[in-house]
Amino acid sequence: MNKPKVLVTRKWPAAIEEKLSKLYDVKLNKQDTPLSALELKAALQNYDAILATVTDRFTAEVLSVADRRTKIIANFGVGYDNIDIQAAKQYNLIVTNTPEVLTECTADLTMMLLLMSARRAAEGERLIRRRQWHGWSPTHQLGQKVSGKTLGLIGFGRIAQAVARRAHHGFGMQILFSDPFVPAQDIVEELQAQRCDTIDELLTEAHFVSLHCPGGKATRHLINERRLKLMRPTAHLINTARGDVVDSRALIKALQQQWIAGAGLDVYEGEPNIDQDLLALENVTLLPHLGSATEETRLAMGNRVLDNVTAFFAGQNPVDRVA
């Protein structure tokens, strides 16, 4: 019996690629270059399964290709807004993701960005590298204290709760959250978290705001000029969710005109293309989408994809099915 044909769209950890190669007729992307829309269409016509990543834009137009062979798109990541889920359902395509395994590392990175932004760490490092630091001064590069401050979380799922635990138990921060879904009461009690009726209320009260909502049409530009103006002038915005949740031009304006003190970003609108005006700012910390970028997490993500695909080809329902 012929092995199923499987495409891995980007370079994955070697241990995962080795496992896949033993189980399936696998095409690997040794060059690690993102696939174009035309290449994705061709893949849908030639492979039984596509193991995709956030860089693969499976739009309705791409998914509508004729003579479609693919039956499952297994996404390497917890987010799946790179795939038009409604179109996937229309064409009877199964879609899976990799939840849970990247929670802790993404939460670690969120706290790192929060601390770096609050204490102007990236700005200080750039100063050292440019050899422009002339020694200690009582008023040089003052930032904000983190301990005891209020952290507002927009979205209160697994990653946000992991951030809240670090912030509350580690730094004595007060936790506010806004989420359309009601979290478990024991979590709320553990973190002494207070739910805000609206995002606007949260933005007004918090010293630090961290975004943990999914991307997509419903949340595009959720943080816009009006909402940025609601934040404290000493506040910091942290985004490790999806780039399009924030109106980047509005954020640039807010940072330029000091409506807020700073921002820490791991994701961007239109990444990897980043607005030059954002790059010119000193009061922003920028990371290249490193939320899950640890060896342990990426291996766990790959194994989760492997489990989903294996279940599918065994005639079972993948545990992480989202469509």
Contact (CB, 8 A) for 147 and 173 = yes
Helix (H) / strand (E) element for 6: namely: strand 5-8
∠ CA 60-65-71, nearest 5°, is 85
Length of the chain: 323
- C-beta atoms surrounding 27 within 10 Å: 16
Catalytic residue among 168, 195, 220, 289: 289
Can you tell me the distance from the alpha carbon of 321 to that of 309, in angstroms, rounded to the nearest whole number?
A: 10
Structure-block tokens of residue 17: 């690629």
228 to 190, 224, 290: CA distances (angstroms): 30, 6, 25
12 to 31, 52, 58, 59: CA distances (angstroms): 11, 10, 19, 23
Catalytic residue among 207, 232, 242, 298: 242
User: Catalytic annotation on 165?
Assistant: no
Catalytic residue among 39, 195, 271, 321: 271
Contact (CB, 8 A) for 229 and 111 = no
User: Catalytic annotation on 125?
Assistant: no
Helix (H) / strand (E) element for 14: namely: helix 14-23
User: Catalytic annotation on 242?
Assistant: yes
Can you tell me the distance from the alpha carbon of 26 to that of 249, in angstroms, rounded to the nearest whole number?
A: 42
| Residues recognised as catalytic | 242, 271, 289
